[in-house]
């Protein structure tokens, strides 16, 4: 089923990319086909400027384009306030979350103009510690030991049942995050469309497997202070209170072709390993 033609695009760019020839080439192609807004500090002739991703509005943009790698896309998703689909264009590196490679840009532009695409919803995590509400996580919340003189006990409570053990940390991941730190930690890879959480011990003293569970409230805490990372960024340190996690509003990615396990295939591709 055809969707509406994309006409207005807001663009967020990886820091330092705007000085490259690649950026100029990409922007030249996009500017010939769409009305553009560019998030500062990047600028482009003929495109209007936005001070931040938070300023992107559904009244002025049909699509948000992330130019860079996975970190750039995660930063965009973290800051985007409105429900606007996001398209990642990879400018190098793995770019596992991105949909387009540079060589595919002309075909992608044509599909956008023709409405030949679909929208894919991805679940996110929402959490709070006490009265502090945390940024939503597309990949994971990671509770990591804050000290190194004694291995702490981390506890996780799910549907009223609590398990705990001595370990270096706890990771609560989404299917999107299953190919990120969770994968590096030995966790399973889950099809991105499944609604589930991955509960993964990090370097437990006694072998405890990762658990894949339906989406429901999760509580995590430790008997020692811990640091909290959200999608790889340290958010809080030396925490002693319980982290309460629940479902957050989803993110919507623009896709051209249904590809189950797209992220895993990209992770294991020859380019990803070089």
CATH number for position 34: 3.40.50.10330
Residue 227 lies in a domain: yes
Question: Which of 55, 53, 56, 67 is closest to 24 using CA atoms?
Answer: 67
Whether 69 and 161 map to the same domain: the answer is no
Whether 239 and 260 map to the same domain: the answer is no
pLDDT in tens, 72-113: 899 999 888 888 999 999 986 667 888 888 899 999 999 999
pLDDT value for 257: 80
pLDDT value for 149: 84
Residues of the chain with pLDDT under 70: 1, 92-94, 259-274
pLDDT value for 213: 96
The answer to whether the predicted template modeling score (pTM) of the entire model surpasses 0.75 is yes
Q: How many domains does the chain have?
A: 2
Calculate the CA dihedral of residues 6, 116, 125, 148 and round it to 10 degrees: -100
Give yes or no: 70 in active site.
Answer: yes
pLDDT value for 219: 97
Which member of 70, 168, 231, 238 is catalytic?
Answer: 70
Q: Which domain holds residue 99?
A: 8-117+256-268
pLDDT value for 202: 95
* Radius of gyration for the alpha carbons in the chain, expressed in angstroms and rounded: 20
Burial 221-258 (b: 16+ CB within 10 A, else e): bbeeebbbbbbeeebbeebeeebbbeebeebbbbebee
CATH code for position 175 = 2.60.200.30
Residue 46 lies in a domain: yes
């Amino acid at each position: 089923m055809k969707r509406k033609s994309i006409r207005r695009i807001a663009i967020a760019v990886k820091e330092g990319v705007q000085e490259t020839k690649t950026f100029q080439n990409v922007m030249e192609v996009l500017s010939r086909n769409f009305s553009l807004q560019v998030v500062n500090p990047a600028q482009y002739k003929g495109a209007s400027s936005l001070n931040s991703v938070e300023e992107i509005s559904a009244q002025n943009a049909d699509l948000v384009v992330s130019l860079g790698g996975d970190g750039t896309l995660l930063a965009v998703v973290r800051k985007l306030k409105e429900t606007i689909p996001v398209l990642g264009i990879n400018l190098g590196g793995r770019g596992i979350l991105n949909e387009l490679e540079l060589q595919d840009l002309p075909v992608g532009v044509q599909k956008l103009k023709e409405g030949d695409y679909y929208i894919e919803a991805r679940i996110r995590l929402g959490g709070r510690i006490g009265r502090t509400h945390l940024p939503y996580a597309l990949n994971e919340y990671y509770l990591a030991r804050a000290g190194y003189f004694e291995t702490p006990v981390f506890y996780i409570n799910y549907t009223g049942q609590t398990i705990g053990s001595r370990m270096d940390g706890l990771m609560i991941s989404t299917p999107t995050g299953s190919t990120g730190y969770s994968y590096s930690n030995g966790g399973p890879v889950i099809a991105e469309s499944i609604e589930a959480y991955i509960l993964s011990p990090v370097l437990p003293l006694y072998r405890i497997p990762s658990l894949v569970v339906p989406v429901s409230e999760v509580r995590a805490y430790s008997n020692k202070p811990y640091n909290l990372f959200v999608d790889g960024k340290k958010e809080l340190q030396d925490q002693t209170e319980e982290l309460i996690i629940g479902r957050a509003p989803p993110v919507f990615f623009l896709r051209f072709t249904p590809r189950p396990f797209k992220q895993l295939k990209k992770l294991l591709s020859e380019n990803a390993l070089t």
